[in-house]
């Protein structure tokens, strides 16, 4: 029940509403004293609207700007004291899989992956939350203290972490949505390979702004296409006047065409043909070369423009000479046309009396089907197909609101030419469709594509069906979807699926493993010195430390890990010796010597594990003598 305002009306707001109705072009967004986004009037534009001459004002320039843009840029660059912690019990084939599922805020995850996956991702597909008023939550504040933020917004969780919800009150504004997506796109660009592509699903509410902000981040020259995906089978009763049956998918490549030897170097040369495309190929004359389709032999040129392309062609059945229609000419010169006739490549219709068309044989189609911007539901699936896929995996009930069909993601992978061991990333993982699609593709062609998913552990609404079925968070449900999909794919593949990787290594965004031991001299007394010796937080395991080391060293966090006992100490061997680590609290010289004998590329130890400074110096000397090429560090 709404409460009475119990105050006089705000005449300023009423006047702004009237101006918005009369002059919608002068409306903009601003931030009030409390940091809340509100509608505002651009008075320079209003003066222009009310003047009969050009009004002097700020220097005009082409740009996209909004309240909070500088803070969003700062958020992209600000360092964080966080790490990724392994969660074995929520993983599948943890020790051998090359796939990754990260639970946590994707802004944090993208920052943590910057060095390990820099320039390695072939395709990033994301389906970010649409700006509908109440459906995105993000943790993006690095400039304010918790107290400052609480004073500003009055919103925080039990740990004091900032949670900004795009509520109905402010969700209709564009600024909050842009501040959410902008830093994530900036970080995503660095992860793309030189021939990498990002594809972003969006609806009409923010497609114009997304195009502008993506032009800024990736470069307007790197815009490749805007796919229109038919997501609904037929018009439905929507709240708006016109039923929206489509979404957009914006496509940007990493490098500008002028920087590439091939302007479409990322594009697949041969795309698989859908049923609609294959249906065009027939063989009504039983041509021994197989199925073919026909195309027009003429172009839109006049005989005056191209006299050499305007000549008669004799119909072999009727003996009549045929000319192109008015204002058109043949595509081919006389000699080329004679060759086509001699090779039986002209089709005159089943009765031999039609205007000629040229045959194109399926067996000779080396270029494949050029991808089109219109993605029909019959080719790539729709919302109903996606729901059927999820329901087949979750007979308990519909646990996801708006999943995407795997056929859509598979098609996008084909367009982006994702092959071999390429990496596909989705940092708004949602229902986990991207992982399912990648595993299906690998089962179909035997490739070893890898996926990296990131999903916030956002809890379901208590009234949702998913919550009633016992599913707590979207991240947990997405993992379960990937797990069930993998089981089904392996079962279908049978003996052929022995080499399929349908597992994933689960990592969780968490605070740093290291204790904050920074103190001012005045804040450190003799009694506190023993507290400064331990730099690792209580409860953090050796494996936790290992993954932070992998990130700090810029190594992929899916590298295979073997745990051995050397001198009764736990030792981690990564990628057969790319890194060997021991974080035991006591490091005897025999252990250090044994590790050095294996000549790893990198070695890392717990600093406090050395009995003294002399012991640490001796360990360094051992590596200089036994394995001088090893890079040795301590935490």
What 3-state DSSP class applies to 266? coil
CA distance 73 to 76: 5
CA distance 366 to 270: 7
Looking at the fold, whether 136 and 27 belong to one and the same domain comes out as no
- Which carries the bigger pLDDT value, residue 235 or residue 386? 386
Work out how many domains the chain is built from and give that number: 4
Looking at the fold, whether 279 and 269 belong to one and the same domain comes out as no
Domain boundary among 327, 361, 395: 361
The answer to whether the CB of 12 falls within 8 A of the CB of 32 is: no
Looking at the fold, whether 242 and 265 belong to one and the same domain comes out as yes
In a domain, 27, yes or no: yes
In a domain, 355, yes or no: yes
Among the residue ranges 3-12, 386-395, 452-461, the one predicted with the least confidence is 3-12
3-state secondary structure 452-497: EEEECCCECCCCCHHHHCCCCEHHHHHHHHHHHHHHHHHHHHHHHH
In a domain, 198, yes or no: yes
Mean per-residue pLDDT over the chain, rounded: 83
In a domain, 403, yes or no: yes
What is the structure's pLDDT at 45? 75
Question: Is pLDDT of 164 > 50?
Answer: no
What is the structure's pLDDT at 240? 65
Looking at the fold, whether 95 and 208 belong to one and the same domain comes out as yes
- Model confidence at 259, in pLDDT bands (50, 70, 90)? low
- Which carries the bigger pLDDT value, residue 209 or residue 290? 209
In a domain, 4, yes or no: no
In a domain, 1, yes or no: no
CA distance 457 to 105: 8
Looking at the fold, whether 428 and 469 belong to one and the same domain comes out as yes
Looking at the fold, whether 81 and 55 belong to one and the same domain comes out as no
In this structure, what CATH number is given to the domain that contains residue 234? Answer: 3.40.50.150
- Model confidence at 10, in pLDDT bands (50, 70, 90)? low
Most confident of 33-42, 262-271, 292-301, 402-411: 402-411
pLDDT tens column, 565-585:
999 999 999 999 999 999 999
Average pLDDT over residues 153-169: 43
pLDDT over 90 percentage in the chain: 49
- Model confidence at 75, in pLDDT bands (50, 70, 90)? confident
Average pLDDT over residues 148-167: 42
Sequence-ordered list of residues with C-beta below 8 angstroms from that of 152, at least 6 positions apart, any chain: 34, 35, 144
Tokens coding 88:
């074995």
Average pLDDT over residues 495-503: 91
Looking at the fold, whether 222 and 287 belong to one and the same domain comes out as no
Looking at the fold, whether 387 and 402 belong to one and the same domain comes out as yes
The answer to whether the CB of 413 falls within 8 A of the CB of 111 is: no
In a domain, 112, yes or no: yes
Looking at the fold, whether 265 and 293 belong to one and the same domain comes out as no
Average pLDDT over residues 592-616: 93
Cα dist. 107→10, 30, 189, 246, 509 in Å? Answer: 38, 25, 13, 28, 10
Question: Is pLDDT of 151 > 90?
Answer: no
Phi and psi at 435, nearest 5°, equal: -65, -45
Question: Is pLDDT of 25 > 90?
Answer: no
In a domain, 620, yes or no: yes
pLDDT tens column, 195-251:
999 999 999 989 999 999 999 889 888 999 999 999 987 666 655 678 888 999 999
Domain boundary among 300, 327, 361: 361
Among the residue ranges 208-212, 272-276, 341-345, the one predicted with the least confidence is 272-276
3-state secondary structure 190-256: HHEEEEEEEEEEECCCCHHHHHHHHHHHHCHHHEEEEEEEECCCCCCCCCCCCCCCEEEEEEEECCC
The residue segments making up the domain with residue 326 are 275-361
Looking at the fold, whether 225 and 281 belong to one and the same domain comes out as no
Average pLDDT over residues 407-411: 93
Looking at the fold, whether 247 and 390 belong to one and the same domain comes out as yes
Radius of gyration of the chain (CA): 31
pLDDT over 70 percentage in the chain: 80
Domain boundary among 484, 509, 534: 509
What is the structure's pLDDT at 54? 65
Looking at the fold, whether 134 and 265 belong to one and the same domain comes out as yes
CA distance 294 to 309: 20
What 3-state DSSP class applies to 290? coil
């Amino acid at each position: 029940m709404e409460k009475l305002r119990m105050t006089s009306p705000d005449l300023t707001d009423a006047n702004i509403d009237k101006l918005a109705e009369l002059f919608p072009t002068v409306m903009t967004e601003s931030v009030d004293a409390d940091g809340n986004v509100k509608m505002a009037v651009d008075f320079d534009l209003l003066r222009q609207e009310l003047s009969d001459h050009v009004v002097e004002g700020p220097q005009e320039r082409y740009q996209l700007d909004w309240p909070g843009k500088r803070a969003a840029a700062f958020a992209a660059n600000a360092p964080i004291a966080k790490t990724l912690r392994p969660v074995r019990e929520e993983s599948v084939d943890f020790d051998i899989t090359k796939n990754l599922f990260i639970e946590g805020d994707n802004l944090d995850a993208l920052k943590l992956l910057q060095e390990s996956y820099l320039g390695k991702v072939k395709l990033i597909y994301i389906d970010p939350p649409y700006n509908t008023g109440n459906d995105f939550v993000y943790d993006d504040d690095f400039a304010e203290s918790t107290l400052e933020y609480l004073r500003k917004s009055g919103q925080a969780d039990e740990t004091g972490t900032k949670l900004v919800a795009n509520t109905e009150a402010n969700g209709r504004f564009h600024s909050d949505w842009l501040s959410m997506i902008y830093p994530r796109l900036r970080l995503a660009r660095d992860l793309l390979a030189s021939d990498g592509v990002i594809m972003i699903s969006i609806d009409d509410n923010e497609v114009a702004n997304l195009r502008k902000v993506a032009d800024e981040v990736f470069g307007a020259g790197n815009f490749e296409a805007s796919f229109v995906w038919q997501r609904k089978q037929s018009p439905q009763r929507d709240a708006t006047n016109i039923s929206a049956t489509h979404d957009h998918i914006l496509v940007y490549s990493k490098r500008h065409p002028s920087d590439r030897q091939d302007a479409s170097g990322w594009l697949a040369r041969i795309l698989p043909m859908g049923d609609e495309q294959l249906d065009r190929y027939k063989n009504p004359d039983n041509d021994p070369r197989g199925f073919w389709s026909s195309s027009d032999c003429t172009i839109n040129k006049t005989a005056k423009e191209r006299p050499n392309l305007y000549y008669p062609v004799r119909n072999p059945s009727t003996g009549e000479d045929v000319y192109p229609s008015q204002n058109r000419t043949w595509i081919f010169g006389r000699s080329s046309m004679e060759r086509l006739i001699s090779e039986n490549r002209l089709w005159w219709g089943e009765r031999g009396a039609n205007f000629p068309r040229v045959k194109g044989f399926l067996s000779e189609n080396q270029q494949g089907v050029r991808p089109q911007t219109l993605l029909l539901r019959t080719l790539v699936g729709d919302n109903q197909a996606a729901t059927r896929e999820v329901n087949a995996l979750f007979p308990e009930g519909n646990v996801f609101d708006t999943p995407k069909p795997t056929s859509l993601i598979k098609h996008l992978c084909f367009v982006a030419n994702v092959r071999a061991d390429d990496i596909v990333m989705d940092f708004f993982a949602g229902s986990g469709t991207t992982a399912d699609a990648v595993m299906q593709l690998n089962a179909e062609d035997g490739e070893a594509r890898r996926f990296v998913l990131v999903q916030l552990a956002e809890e379901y609404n208590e009234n949702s069906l998913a919550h009633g079925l016992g599913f707590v968070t979207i991240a947990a449900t997405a993992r379960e979807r990937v797990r069930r999909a993998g089981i089904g794919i392996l079962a279908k593949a049978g003996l052929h699926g022995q080499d399929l990787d349908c597992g994933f290594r689960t990592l969780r965004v968490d605070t740093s493993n290291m204790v904050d031991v920074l103190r001012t001299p005045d804040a450190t007394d003799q009694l506190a010195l023993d507290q400064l010796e331990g730099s690792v937080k209580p409860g953090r395991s050796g494996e936790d430390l290992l993954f932070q080391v992998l990130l700090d060293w810029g190594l992929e966090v899916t590298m295979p890990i073997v745990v051995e006992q050397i001198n009764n100490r736990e030792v981690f061997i990564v990628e057969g010796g790319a890194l060997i680590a021991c974080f035991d609290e006591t490091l005897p010289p025999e252990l250090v010597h044994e590790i050095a004998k294996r000549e790893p590329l990198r070695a890392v130890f717990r600093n406090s594990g050395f009995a003294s400074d002399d012991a640490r110096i001796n360990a360094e000397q051992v590596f200089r003598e036994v394995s001088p090429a090893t890079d040795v560090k301590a935490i």
